[in-house]
A and B are shown apart, each in its own frame.
Chain A
Amino acid sequence: MSSTDVAVFTGTEEIERFVNTLAEPAWSLNVRRKALKQFNAMSWPTTEDEEWRRSDVSSYDFDRYALSPVEAAVPPAGAVPEGRSGLLRFENGRCVAASLAPELAEKGVVFASLAAFLNDETANHAGNGAKAHAAVQGLFERRSGELEHRLFAWHYATWTHGVVLFVPGFVEVEQPFEVQFHFDGDAVLATPHVVAVAETGGRATLLHTVSSGDEGEVLLNEVINADVADTARMEIATHYELNYDSSTFSNGHAVVGRDAAYHSFLSSFGGMFSKLRMDAELNGTGGDIDLDGLYFAGEDQHMDLRTLQVHNAVNANSRTFYKGAVKDEAHTVYQGLIRVAHGASKTDAYLTNNNLVLNNGARADSIPGLNINTDDVKCSHGSTTGKIDGAQLYYLQTRGFDYETARIMLVQGFLEEVIAKAPEAVQDRLRALVEQRILADYDTGDDE
């Protein structure tokens, strides 16, 4: 790739010019051009669309964001941090740190900058190079075939950087991989792409964080795709922590094979406006999905989270567990759906969403749903939205906890149930963020 800085990224010509500057394999350019075609044929989502009914993007001027310059940087080599199998860090799209445990590289594990990976099709990766490239290409092509909304199409046409994790058959990786995308600046369009593939029997955890500087508006439009082959296990912990000027659009999707397991843990703290979606499809008998989510909205944040559990195979299990707290004048929306295809009998699927509303003026909507097209299934959903329980508060007070301490403990406890499901490596950070968010004062700016 060569350096480029096209200013406007919602015009066909600009995107096309951008695509033409890229030195990617033909199939990848093809994916971009096809996505651009879909992009042109669509309009931005409106509140007429069910998925966007509670999250209005009509006030966005999508023309105002510019992609960061893309550089064909050769990622610098670095030491593998303690407790990790590898680390990739991107700042404004540039890879500034890249490491992979040598013993994993020898086994054919790929953990690399996506651009660098695509630009070097000849890399052997311990004999797994061709397989890894085929897997990434396949995933890109399948996922970009029919895009559901314009932001999706925008992403596939304009993604600038990302990460590829490829775990070859029966390679089990204990320590997590970590990727960090960080953005600075104003009116930045951030379009990272995450691909995670585990071949048959492979096993890995990926920690994924998107963050920003304290100020400046970033518009994140991210896609995460995972392919978990038969008997493989993949865990992806995604964490969004952009500043309050920024917006977060994200679409995660996983396909899960026979007797395979996929665990997604999503934590959302940042962004003025977030629209986050996690889908997982069970395509093989005995597959298993856990979609866990933690969100805590404050000030006047708007967070919209959606999960989709799709059962296409018999005897598969899925569980969604999303818990959120909302304070100040923030608004959260959770929509969840279990969809059981015709013939996917013996499905065992649950969906739980619990919301804690910390004050009047804050709001949480919860819309769980079932779409079941076969008999002989066990599916259920439960959703609660409530305030701090007076009986619990009183109980703690009789033990000597003052009101504020008791309240904090109860909010922490409420969210702890889902934090406990996160990879251990991120749990303490999440606990600290929860505490910070509970204690944060909301300055409405009225007295300034």
Chain B
Amino acid sequence: MKIQINDLHAEINGLPILKGVNLEMESGAVHALMGPNGSGKSTLSNVIFGHPAYDVTGGEILVDGENILEMGTDERAMLGLFLAFQYPVEIPGVTVGRFLKRAADLHAGEGETKTTGFVKRLREMMDYLEIDQQFINRYLNTGFSGGEKKRMEILQMLILKPTFAILDETDSGLDIDALKIVSKGVNKLRDEGFGALIITHYQRILNHIRPDHVHIMYQGRIVTSGGNELVDQLEAKGYDFIKQEFGIEEEHDVESVTSG
């Protein structure tokens, strides 16, 4: 899968957040998107998925050459895109088992997921991510801790096997053990047919999932891209170095509205 984002502009409630994003990604590679709070990272992931609160005011998102901006969220998912949420919602009354089986059926084609095979695979993946089997019968994310919710996102990713996954600050709020497990999940899928965009503030997760490409976002634009060395630079010098290097001035009003 090839994703090309060209001069993407988007706003929420009339407030511009993305101001000309250019980014090219392909399966087979892991990208990291870094940037301070309010730089537009989460907005970018939601615009890729067509979140109804955001208006795209310019530019395009091509997936294998096709503009997806007119597609519904579910159609984009069916292309093989996956979004691991920063704050997964609780869905009371829908068990993890039922939800995952239905979702897996959707992706495999109705009836193609044999229940016995599915349950076996689900149990394997749960073991792999050190998730208690009891969770199969619990309501999705309902009453889960922050770490449990994040692991549930990764479990869904392993079950649905997307061609390209966006992980929106999956690392935030995780202790080191949970972080390792989440990273293990991503690394398990890493191959020619899988790509990912890891959105994060911190280089911590990138020690466990080594990205092939690193992009820095600031004030709604990708200001620079590079390899792993960019992560080390950022770690050593902080985001201020980016500001100086690219002559960026603060826009306090935007930051306070969009942070988080």
Residues in chain A within 8 A of chain B (CB atoms)? 389-392, 394-403, 406, 409-410, 412-417, 420
Instruction: Choose among A389, A396, A398, A400 the residue that contacts B107 (Cβ–Cβ < 8 A).
Output: A400
> Are B92 and A399 in contact (CB-based, < 8 A)?
no
Instruction: Choose among A395, A397, A400, A420 the residue that contacts B91 (Cβ–Cβ < 8 A).
Output: A395
> Are A401 and B74 in contact (CB-based, < 8 A)?
yes
Q: Say yes or no: A416-B93 contact (C-beta < 8 A), given A390-B52, A400-B74.
A: yes
B89 within 8 A of A: yes
The docked-state distance in angstroms from the alpha carbon of A412 to that of B49 is: 25
CB distance from B66 to the nearest CB of A (A): 17
Ranked 8 nearest A-B pairs via Cβ: A413-B93, A416-B93, A397-B73, A413-B94, A400-B77, A400-B106, A397-B74, A417-B93
Q: Chain B contacts of A394 at CB under 8 A?
A: 49, 51-52, 73
B160 within 8 A of A: yes
> Are B83 and A398 in contact (CB-based, < 8 A)?
yes
CB distance from A446 to the nearest CB of B (A): 30
Instruction: Choose among A403, A412, A414, A420 the residue that contacts B74 (Cβ–Cβ < 8 A).
Output: A403
B16 within 8 A of A: no
CB distance from B29 to the nearest CB of A (A): 22
Q: Say yes or no: A402-B91 contact (C-beta < 8 A), given A390-B52, A394-B51, A394-B52.
A: no
Q: Chain B contacts of A413 at CB under 8 A?
A: 91-94, 139
> Are A402 and B89 in contact (CB-based, < 8 A)?
no
B42 within 8 A of A: no
Instruction: Choose among B72, B73, B89 the residue that contacts A389 (Cβ–Cβ < 8 A).
Output: B89
A and B contact pairs by CB, cutoff 8 A, 27 listed: A389-B89, A390-B52, A391-B89, A392-B91, A394-B51, A394-B52, A394-B73, A395-B85, A395-B89, A397-B77, A398-B73, A398-B74, A398-B82, A398-B83, A398-B85, A400-B77, A400-B103, A400-B107, A403-B72, A403-B74, A406-B74, A409-B94, A410-B94, A413-B139, A415-B93, A416-B94, A417-B139
CB distance from A214 to the nearest CB of B (A): 30
In the complex, which residues 4-52 of chain B have their Cβ closer than 8 Å to any Cβ of chain A? 49, 51-52
B248 within 8 A of A: no
CB distance from B197 to the nearest CB of A (A): 14
The docked-state distance in angstroms from the alpha carbon of A193 to that of B213 is: 74
B147 within 8 A of A: no
> Are A401 and B94 in contact (CB-based, < 8 A)?
no
B102 within 8 A of A: yes
The docked-state distance in angstroms from the alpha carbon of A396 to that of B72 is: 12
Q: Chain A contacts of B93 at CB under 8 A?
A: 412-417, 420
The docked-state distance in angstroms from the alpha carbon of A391 to that of B89 is: 7
B176 within 8 A of A: no
CB distance from A419 to the nearest CB of B (A): 8
Closest to A411 in B: B93
CB distance from B17 to the nearest CB of A (A): 17
Instruction: Choose among A401, A410, A417, A420 the residue that contacts B103 (Cβ–Cβ < 8 A).
Output: A401
Q: Say yes or no: A399-B77 contact (C-beta < 8 A), given A394-B51, A412-B94, A413-B94.
A: yes
Q: Say yes or no: A409-B102 contact (C-beta < 8 A), given A390-B52, A394-B52.
A: yes
> Are B106 and A395 in contact (CB-based, < 8 A)?
no
In the complex, which residues 81-97 of chain B have their Cβ closer than 8 Å to any Cβ of chain A? 82-83, 85, 88-89, 91-94
Binary per-residue interface labels of chain B (216-256) against chain A in the complex, 1 for a CB within 8 Å, 0 otherwise: 00000000000000000000000000000000000000000
CB distance from A3 to the nearest CB of B (A): 50
CB distance from B168 to the nearest CB of A (A): 11
B170 within 8 A of A: no
Q: Chain A contacts of B102 at CB under 8 A?
A: 401, 409
> Are B74 and A402 in contact (CB-based, < 8 A)?
yes
> Are B156 and A399 in contact (CB-based, < 8 A)?
yes
The docked-state distance in angstroms from the alpha carbon of A410 to that of B107 is: 19
Instruction: Choose among B85, B106, B139 the residue that contacts A401 (Cβ–Cβ < 8 A).
Output: B106
The docked-state distance in angstroms from the alpha carbon of A397 to that of B52 is: 11
Closest to B76 in A: A398
Q: Chain B contacts of A417 at CB under 8 A?
A: 92-93, 139
The docked-state distance in angstroms from the alpha carbon of A418 to that of B73 is: 30
The docked-state distance in angstroms from the alpha carbon of A294 to that of B230 is: 57
Closest to A419 in B: B93
Q: Chain B contacts of A390 at CB under 8 A?
A: 52
Q: Chain A contacts of B94 at CB under 8 A?
A: 409-410, 412-413, 416
> Are A397 and B103 in contact (CB-based, < 8 A)?
no
Q: Which of A397, A403, A406, A410 has the most CB of B within 10 A?
A: A397
In the complex, which residues 53-112 of chain B have their Cβ closer than 8 Å to any Cβ of chain A? 72-74, 76-78, 82-83, 85, 88-89, 91-94, 99, 102-103, 106-107
In the complex, which residues 144-194 of chain B have their Cβ closer than 8 Å to any Cβ of chain A? 156, 160
Instruction: Choose among B78, B88, B139 the residue that contacts A395 (Cβ–Cβ < 8 A).
Output: B88
Instruction: Choose among A392, A397, A415, A416 the residue that contacts B72 (Cβ–Cβ < 8 A).
Output: A397
Q: Chain B contacts of A412 at CB under 8 A?
A: 93-94
5 additional contacts (CB under 8 A) given A392-B91, A414-B92: A396-B91, A398-B73, A400-B78, A402-B72, A409-B94
CB distance from B81 to the nearest CB of A (A): 8
Q: Which of B49, B89, B106, B107 has the most CB of A within 10 A?
A: B89
Closest to A413 in B: B93
CB distance from B184 to the nearest CB of A (A): 22
CB distance from A395 to the nearest CB of B (A): 5
Q: Which of A391, A397, A399 has the most CB of B within 10 A?
A: A399
Q: Chain B contacts of A402 at CB under 8 A?
A: 72, 74
The docked-state distance in angstroms from the alpha carbon of A297 to that of B85 is: 34
CB distance from A303 to the nearest CB of B (A): 21
> Are A398 and B72 in contact (CB-based, < 8 A)?
no
The docked-state distance in angstroms from the alpha carbon of A392 to that of B89 is: 6
Q: Chain B contacts of A398 at CB under 8 A?
A: 49, 73-74, 76-77, 82-83, 85
The docked-state distance in angstroms from the alpha carbon of A406 to that of B75 is: 13
The docked-state distance in angstroms from the alpha carbon of A237 to that of B206 is: 55
CB distance from B72 to the nearest CB of A (A): 7
Q: Chain A contacts of B76 at CB under 8 A?
A: 398
The docked-state distance in angstroms from the alpha carbon of A399 to that of B94 is: 14
Closest to B73 in A: A397
CB distance from A295 to the nearest CB of B (A): 16
Q: Chain A contacts of B74 at CB under 8 A?
A: 397-398, 400-403, 406
The docked-state distance in angstroms from the alpha carbon of A417 to that of B91 is: 11
The docked-state distance in angstroms from the alpha carbon of A394 to that of B85 is: 11
Q: Chain A contacts of B51 at CB under 8 A?
A: 394
CB distance from B234 to the nearest CB of A (A): 29
